[in-house]
Amino acid sequence: MRRHHACHAAGVSVPSQLAIASIGGGPLAAVCSPPLTSIVLPYEEMGRMAGKRLLAALNGDEPPAINELPVQLKLRASTHKV
């Protein structure tokens, strides 16, 4: 969000001069001007997975080396097709 505001203050047009995207996809991403393209992370599933890994470690089990979770790309007005 700070970069978004800094661009506006410097007179840099988003997205025509600079495209901006974020990771996290918080609620402010949809209401800033222009709305911010975001990669939305599955926080609840991340928490569940962390809990399972912790329980496995406490039980002496080996947790998986790699965990993959799906993310979602929310395209909004801060980016455009190239």
- One digit per residue, the tens of pLDDT, for the chain of length 82 reads 677 778 888 989 899 899 999 998 788 888 888 999 999 999 999 999 999 999 999 999 988 888 899 999 999 999 977 6
Closest by CA to 18, choosing from 32, 31, 5, is 5
The DSSP symbol for 59 reads T
CB-based contact 29:38 (threshold 8 Å): yes
Question: Which residue type is seen at 28?
Answer: L
Question: Which residue type is seen at 32?
Answer: C
Residue tagged 């609620």 (tokens): 27
pTM: 0.73
For the chain, the C-alpha Rg in angstroms (whole number) is 18
